[in-house]
Amino acid sequence: DAGVTQSPTHLIKTRGQHVTLRCSPISGHKSVSWYQQVLGQGPQFIFQYYEKEERGRGNFPDRFSARQFPNYSSELNVNALLLGDSALYLCASSWGGGGETQYFGPGTRLLVL
């Protein structure tokens, strides 16, 4: 079975642009969460979606938004990119809405110049 997949693997943008990152969860999983990992730090929670509804939002500005589609895949959108948005963006899927193992994808590395 395929694991969590993310696209693209790498991305270079300039300040002020917007970016869309995509994630496909493990088949049968209904929850997708997004994390940002800045170099040298642990991942930080951005969003969780379960059954296409937002279940949680971390301490990130409104420039960050996400959605989950009927097939449970998800998009993370970031507008008005800042240099500080450069990071590894990780997607995780789990079967239910909470208290379970989360399985992570390989991540999308975003560089903002």
Partner 1 sequence: SQQGEEDPQALSIQEGENATMNCSYKTSINNLQWYRQNSGRGLVHLILIRSNEREKHSGRLRVTLDTSKKSSSLLITASRAADTASYFCATDAGETSGSRLTFGEGTQLTVNP
Contact set with partner 1 (CB under 8 A):
4, 31, 33, 35, 39, 41-45, 48, 50, 55-56, 58-59, 88, 90, 92, 94, 97-107, 109
Comparing CB distances to partner 1, the nearer of 7 and 18 is 7
How far apart are alpha carbons 6 and 16 in whole angstroms?
A: 23
In this structure, which amino acid lies at residue 95?
W
Say whether the peptide bond before residue 8 is cis (omega within 30 degrees of 0). yes
Q: How far is the CB of 104 from partner 1 (least distance, A)?
A: 4
The neighbouring-strand residues paired with 56 are: 48
CA dihedral sign, ordered 52, 54, 58, 64 = positive
Beta carbon of residue 93, minimum distance to partner 1 (angstroms, whole number): 9
CB 70, min distance to partner 1, A: 20
